[in-house]
Homo-oligomer: A and B are copies of this chain.
Amino acid sequence: MLDTSSPQVRAVLPLLYVAWADGVLTPSEAETIRTQIRAQDWIDTSTREAICNHLDPQTPPTATQYFRWVRALKEGAKETSVTTRCSLAELGAAVATVGGDGAALSDASRRALADIEAALGIDGEELVGDLLGERPEPTPPTSEAPFEVSTLTEVLDGEHADLRDHIRTLLQDPVFRYRPELDTAAYREQVLRWCEHLAEQGLGALAYPEDYGGDGDMGRFIATFETLAYHDLSMVVKFGVQFGLFGGSIHRLGTERHHEKYLESAGTLELPGCFAMTERNHGSNVRELETTARYDPATEEFVINTPHDGAHKEWIGNAAVHGRVATVFAQLHTDGEDHGVHAFVVPIRTEDGTPRPRVRIEDCGEKMGLNGVDNGRLWFDQVRIPRENLLDRYASVAPDGTYDSPIPSPGKRFFTMLSTLIGGRISVARAGLSAAKSGLTIAVRYGNRRRQFGPKDEPEVPLLDYRTHKRRLLPKLATTYALHFALDDLTRRFAAKGRDASLDAIEAEANALKAYATWHTTDTLQEAREACGGQGYRADTRIGRLKADTDVFTTFEGDNTVLMLQVAKGLLSDFRREFRDMNLLGMARFVATEMATQVAELNPVVTRKTDADHLRSLDFQQGAFRYRAEQMLQNVGQRLKRRIDDDMDPFEAFVDVQDHLVDLAHAEAERVILDRFVAAIEAIDDPTIRESLTALRQLFALARVEADLDWFLEAGYVTSAKAKAVRGGVNALCDELRPQAEALVDAFGIPDACLAAPIATQDRVEAA
């Protein structure tokens, strides 16, 4: 048994400690120590042998012996001035002086110990840290925002700040308390009550004309929808179905008499209604839906019919329980001719709630989420409605059955009717983004408080200090800000259009941003859940509910992939037109632009530039996004042309390049988002806000370049060295933004009541 009070033994104790600590030394290295110990003539021979005995792999120390060595080192260290950053040799020399007879080691002995340690080539400091480190208590987290949070909230709230604040106050009213204990039937009733409360506040009719309780402002309606989306998403979706889709279809597809008859009661929710477009067999392909509306001149009625079982209306919100009428989309037949899809007002339930004759209604039942919305299926068996129930803004049928429309082409007519969906698409994108903001608020607050692991002699480290955790959340926060401003700008332009203005210019952007934003929401909530670990899995932390409720946002109001393909096709037809339009000036301008871009961007000096200022510059970031979108467009145009030239069927040719089309649409979406974000920042006066938003813009763009580095490398737009610098640049921006992360989520201004009983609140109390 070693005498741990002997200074000679104490001097070599650190070596004994590492010899038996797991994973530090190999058996041959322990053997090395043994050989060296035998050569130390400042140690008594018997002591030397006793020490060497304890270095023999055949005779390991007992746990109790090992524990005594560790205790002797720890207690000895406390009585000396050694720090946790000393070497093993220094520690040995120090503890040799305390306890026992306490004689100091000679310089030669110290050098000998240091030589043994050096020969092992191990990091002695780290091992001493492991041994001696003790964790002090953490100090509460601080938030270092270089700006006023309330000022940033004002910037985000924009022109409808008062309305948003009103809604925030409203949502804190006890009537809006979450009721997770309710079963599905009761939950649906609760959601109806909530929507009625909102209607009482005049929020449902906001977008309708003044005569019907509104102020005709789509911008205010969408701001309402977005802010409500901090609360229960079933409520928001039901709100959108009733006031946006049902009421909106009456408003936008109907004429005066329909407004007169339905709009006020739609806005007050006295008349709950449905928007019955989607069919089971035709989700995305609306143009080929199969429900028919045959005109019967004998009775001046339309006959609405579901021709076979798979042609029923599917997923119709408000249909399972509450809806009394529905805007039904059907193929209009008159005079033996099919004039394509039109919208009709069809009563589906009597006032007492029973389904009307010849209308079959089925409950869609439980869903992954949004169970407060009563989705249903509708079948019509030769249901007769008056001729006046055709929503006839874009097409009318005379009493004798003569069809007329101000738009001669059925294609254009169809797409004009469909463009009434744009408002809903923008609203869904913004509501999804609100959910992403909720998820980020919860996850950032948690990451700023939750500690796990850390250096040996310091408090455990908040999760958000870890590189992996910053990378999880901060680029998503930056994208969320970028999307906020892009969607805000789009909403403003959309709201400024009169009811009769063409929406062509806005539609492609709405499609691109809807798809981009809702995919971003899905990704962000997944990261937020994982970033909160097990706590994120609790139902009452809301992330699970947000995930489940928003999961279908990527599907409804236009399947994201289908929307992205439309965006790309839109770009291609512009492109095709540019080439087809054979006037020389246009062609010259087009080619000149292209060549100028190529020359500017592929300048070998620029593709090699790696300094941070360059990588963060508008010049580089906007240049990169524009170049990518333009190159992808040309590239996919050429791919298509080759296939068409090879006599491939055009449909097949498009299918064959779909992966490139979706990439193009993504690139276009990011180009637009960045441009809008840049413009929004330029319009801000407060320099502290500009500075933080600029850092977010830089992180958004650089992280997206990083995500698509394969493309930029392949295109020769960046070199390997620059690619490396881009990755480093993302890290640096994450580091810079990390101290203000919590202020940046606080600025969303999500009411605590909406975040329910989140982990963040609980930990905030604990940390304070």
Q: List which A354-382 residues lie within 8 A (CB) of chain B.
A: 364-369
- Distance of A87 Cα from B104 Cα, bound (Å): 104
Q: Does A72 contact B (CB under 8 A)?
A: no
Nearest Cβ in chain B — how far from A416, in angstroms? 9
Copies in the complex: 2
Q: Which of A39-47, A225-233, A617-625, A654-662 contacts B (4 or more CB under 8 A)?
A: A654-662
Nearest Cβ in chain B — how far from A338, in angstroms? 9
Nearest Cβ in chain B — how far from A650, in angstroms? 5
- Distance of A534 Cα from B284 Cα, bound (Å): 10
Q: Does A547 contact B (CB under 8 A)?
A: yes
A651 close to B467 (CB less than 8 A): no
In this complex, which of A61, A412, A551, A714 has the most chain B Cβ atoms within 10 angstroms of its Cβ? A714
Checking B67, B560, B724 against A337 with a beta-carbon cut-off of 8 angstroms, the contacting residue is B67
B285 close to A22 (CB less than 8 A): no
A545: nearest chain-B partner, CB-CB: B368
Mask: chain A, 197-229; 1 = CB below 8 Å from B; 0 = not: 000000000000000000000000000000000
Q: Does A575 contact B (CB under 8 A)?
A: no
Checking B122, B536, B659 against A467 with a beta-carbon cut-off of 8 angstroms, the contacting residue is B659
- Point out the residues of chain B lying under 8 angstroms from A538, CB to CB: 364-368
Checking B22, B283, B537, B548 against A555 with a beta-carbon cut-off of 8 angstroms, the contacting residue is B537
Q: List which A702-738 residues lie within 8 A (CB) of chain B.
A: 709-710, 713-716, 720, 723-724, 727, 731
B534 close to A551 (CB less than 8 A): no
- Point out the residues of chain B lying under 8 angstroms from A656, CB to CB: 467
Q: List which A459-507 residues lie within 8 A (CB) of chain B.
A: 460-461, 465-468, 471
Q: Does A350 contact B (CB under 8 A)?
A: no
Checking B282, B285, B455 against A651 with a beta-carbon cut-off of 8 angstroms, the contacting residue is B455
- Distance of A121 Cα from B554 Cα, bound (Å): 38
Given A62-B408, A452-B283, A534-B552, also A368-B658 (CB < 8 A):
no
B365 close to A539 (CB less than 8 A): yes
Given A460-B285, A581-B26, also A366-B180 (CB < 8 A):
yes
Q: Does A160 contact B (CB under 8 A)?
A: no
B278 close to A659 (CB less than 8 A): no
- Point out the residues of chain B lying under 8 angstroms from A554, CB to CB: 530
Nearest Cβ in chain B — how far from A337, in angstroms? 6
A766: nearest chain-B partner, CB-CB: B310
- Point out the residues of chain B lying under 8 angstroms from A723, CB to CB: 710, 713-714
B526 close to A522 (CB less than 8 A): yes
- Distance of A122 Cα from B411 Cα, bound (Å): 18
Q: Does A60 contact B (CB under 8 A)?
A: yes
Q: Does A739 contact B (CB under 8 A)?
A: no
Q: Does A65 contact B (CB under 8 A)?
A: yes
Q: Does A409 contact B (CB under 8 A)?
A: yes
- Distance of A70 Cα from B409 Cα, bound (Å): 10
Nearest Cβ in chain B — how far from A561, in angstroms? 5
- Point out the residues of chain B lying under 8 angstroms from A700, CB to CB: none
Checking B22, B540, B573, B650 against A365 with a beta-carbon cut-off of 8 angstroms, the contacting residue is B540
Nearest Cβ in chain B — how far from A705, in angstroms? 10
Q: Does A154 contact B (CB under 8 A)?
A: no
Q: Which of A251-259, A299-307, A397-405 contacts B (4 or more CB under 8 A)?
A: A397-405
- Distance of A650 Cα from B454 Cα, bound (Å): 11
Given A364-B538, A467-B657, A659-B471, also A409-B22 (CB < 8 A):
yes
Nearest Cβ in chain B — how far from A747, in angstroms? 27
Checking B121, B126, B315, B413 against A582 with a beta-carbon cut-off of 8 angstroms, the contacting residue is B121
- Distance of A565 Cα from B723 Cα, bound (Å): 23
Q: Does A590 contact B (CB under 8 A)?
A: no
- Distance of A710 Cα from B560 Cα, bound (Å): 26
A408 close to B63 (CB less than 8 A): yes
Nearest Cβ in chain B — how far from A46, in angstroms? 23
Mask: chain A, 510-540; 1 = CB below 8 Å from B; 0 = not: 0000000000001000100110011011111
Q: Does A23 contact B (CB under 8 A)?
A: yes
Q: Does A643 contact B (CB under 8 A)?
A: no
B367 close to A652 (CB less than 8 A): no
Q: Does A106 contact B (CB under 8 A)?
A: no
- Distance of A522 Cα from B561 Cα, bound (Å): 20
- Distance of A715 Cα from B534 Cα, bound (Å): 37
Q: List which A551-581 residues lie within 8 A (CB) of chain B.
A: 551-552, 554-556, 559-561, 565, 573, 577, 580-581
Q: List which A261-319 residues lie within 8 A (CB) of chain B.
A: 278, 282-285, 288, 310, 314-315
B66 close to A468 (CB less than 8 A): no
Q: Does A752 contact B (CB under 8 A)?
A: no
- Point out the residues of chain B lying under 8 angstroms from A720, CB to CB: 713-716
- Point out the residues of chain B lying under 8 angstroms from A731, CB to CB: 659
A469: nearest chain-B partner, CB-CB: B561
Nearest Cβ in chain B — how far from A759, in angstroms? 10
Given A62-B404, A282-B452, A649-B455, also A544-B534 (CB < 8 A):
no
Q: List which A407-423 residues lie within 8 A (CB) of chain B.
A: 407-413, 415
Q: Does A147 contact B (CB under 8 A)?
A: no
Checking B395, B555, B580 against A534 with a beta-carbon cut-off of 8 angstroms, the contacting residue is B555
Checking B70, B544, B714 against A709 with a beta-carbon cut-off of 8 angstroms, the contacting residue is B714
A310: nearest chain-B partner, CB-CB: B766
A28: nearest chain-B partner, CB-CB: B581
Q: Does A71 contact B (CB under 8 A)?
A: yes
Mask: chain A, 637-666; 1 = CB below 8 Å from B; 0 = not: 000000010000111100111110010000
- Distance of A681 Cα from B734 Cα, bound (Å): 44
- Point out the residues of chain B lying under 8 angstroms from A62, CB to CB: 404-405, 408
Q: Does A142 contact B (CB under 8 A)?
A: no
A62-B408, A466-B658, A709-B714 known; 4 new pairs, CB 8 Å cut-off, are: A23-B573, A64-B404, A283-B534, A315-B534
Q: List 15 A-B contacts (CB under 8 A).
A: A22-B411, A23-B412, A60-B408, A62-B408, A63-B395, A63-B404, A315-B534, A366-B540, A454-B651, A456-B651, A468-B659, A526-B526, A710-B723, A713-B720, A714-B720
* List of 6 A-B pairs having minimum Cβ-Cβ separation, nearest first: A368-B544, A22-B412, A63-B405, A366-B539, A709-B710, A66-B408
